[in-house]
Amino acid sequence: MAEREFPMSGSALYDEFDKAADAVADQVVRWRRHLHQHPELSNREVNTARLIADHLRSLGLDEVRTGIAGHGVVGVLRCGPGDRVIALRADIDALPVPDECGVPFASHVVDETYPGGPFSVSHACGHDCHTAMLLGAATVLAGAREKLSGTVLFVFQPAEEGPPVDEPGGASAMIAAGACDDPRPTMAFGFHVTPYPKGVIGYRVGNQFGASCLVKIVIDGQQVHGSTPWMGIDPMPAAGAILTGIGQLYRQVDAFDPVTVSIGHVEDVGRFNIIGRRVTLWGTIRCAVESDMGEVQTRLRTLATHTAQAHNCSGTVDFLQDVPAVHNAAEWVEAALPTFRRVAGDDVVQTAATLGYDDVSEFVNRYGGLYVTLGVQDAEFDEAGRPRPAPGGRGMAFNHNPHFYADDDTLVTGVRLHAYVAYDHLSGTLLPR
């Protein structure tokens, strides 16, 4: 395919991107602070989606599609002639986590209607940053559309953290709804803020994030008054034994391929003086190697059902919301490293493996492309290349922690990163060989 002749060199266009990113930087910060102060949980991102769609429409994009898989939004920017299509993705939902990050724009939102709630709600994973940075990038790229070829899709995805278990949602639902069918991306790209030094771009060849599933374990006994436990069947000891037994599952799979099984929520239908009839355990499995997931699930099901039986209870196990690993193919990383270095200079590092998950994998694994990380905290690297708190700073607070924070001054780096990757892919310099 013949390349389009551009009216300015790539370096001149990068300079233009930088100036446009600086010009929109204050607005990006305002968006981020507004979203941080008004977070919405998965599949409830009504006002967030409205803000996104309103701004995309103001840019004069060719299309702004709304209501995709709930509250997903896709903006379509068709530029000059060219067959390449890049999908830039940001997740928009918040978490049921209190906000203790100590900023004046902290969230005080409490959702009293969400299943399992009420919940304090916050952007403790940084999706407010992702949304604001992609809105900034849309502004920059729309302003340069006459100098670009191909098409940019701005994909704002709901329910990345997982919808309520009885609702569809997330990346797979967006794809099933045709979010990227017309035109189909030739590359998907996104990044996640992380407690790394500010402005550092982190990448990993292979699995950037692990495979994941949601676990539901139900143990049924027989309800009875707490004064006469022999008259019923107490499911609580079975639940405790399962929790203890999970600690032995790691010894049953290859120790050189990390896995975790974590139970994060326990529900029961008892009372201080009632032995309830049911205990439900909610958790997650994470696997660095995706093919290990089936083995871990089998062993967890065996442990839970047999342990329940040993306590004269019955047990069932369901595995829900499977999310594949985010895989960065070596050829995509090799192609993108020059772009990353144009954005961040020497602040481009290869990161260690993580068992975090992100359903951006549905986009990257289907269309090709990359998912990386962007440091946003007062951190530095030690001699072994591991992040640690920087002297005199706010310290480090990991994602999903109530104290998680992000530095506003770093957001402009994310705007530039989206713009540079989009241009380099559309112009043909960021392609796997």
- For the cut 90, the answer to whether the pLDDT of residue 57 exceeds it is yes
* Alpha-carbon gap, residue 272 to 131, rounded angstroms: 44
Q: Is 150 helix (H, G, I), strand (E, B) or coil?
A: strand
DSSP state of 409: G
Q: How far apart are CA 241 and CA 235, in angstroms?
A: 10
Average pLDDT value for residue range 255-265: 95
pLDDT for residue 68 is more than 50: yes
Q: Residue 3 pLDDT > 70, yes or no?
A: no
Residues in the chain: 433
Residue ranges at the known binding site: 125, 127, 161, 192, 400
pLDDT tier at 352 (50, 70, 90 boundaries)? confident
List residues forming the annotated binding site for Mn(2+). 125, 127, 161, 192, 400
Q: Which amino acid is at 328?
A: N
Whether the pLDDT of residue 5 is over 60: the answer is no
Neighbouring C-beta atoms of residue 183, cutoff 10 Å = 15
Q: Determine the pLDDT at residue 8.
A: 45
Domains of the chain: 12-208+325-427 (3.40.630.10), 211-323 (3.30.70.360)
How is residue 27 annotated by DSSP?
H
What is the tens place of the pLDDT at every residue in 369-387? Answer: 999 999 999 999 999 989 9
Instruction: Determine the pLDDT at residue 97.
Output: 98
Q: Which residues pair with 215 in a beta bridge?
A: 283, 319
- Work out the percent of the chain whose per-residue pLDDT is above 90: 96
pLDDT at 9 over 60: no
Enter the pTM of the model.
0.94
The pLDDT, as a whole number, for residue 10 is 63
Q: In what helix (H) or strand (E) does residue 320 lie, and over which residues does it extend?
A: strand 314-323
Q: What is the mean pLDDT of residues 222-233?
A: 97
Q: How far apart are CA 365 and CA 159, in angstroms?
A: 18
Which sign does the torsion angle of CA 319, 321, 325, 327 carry? positive
pLDDT band at 126 (very low <50, low <70, confident <90, very high): very high
| CA-wise closest residue to 360 among 352, 369, 351 | 369
The pLDDT, as a whole number, for residue 353 is 84
What is the pLDDT at residue 11? Answer: 80
pLDDT digits (tens, 9 = 90+) for 147-202: 999 999 999 999 999 999 999 999 999 999 999 999 999 999 999 999 999 999 99
Q: Which helix (H) or strand (E) holds 90?
A: strand 80-91
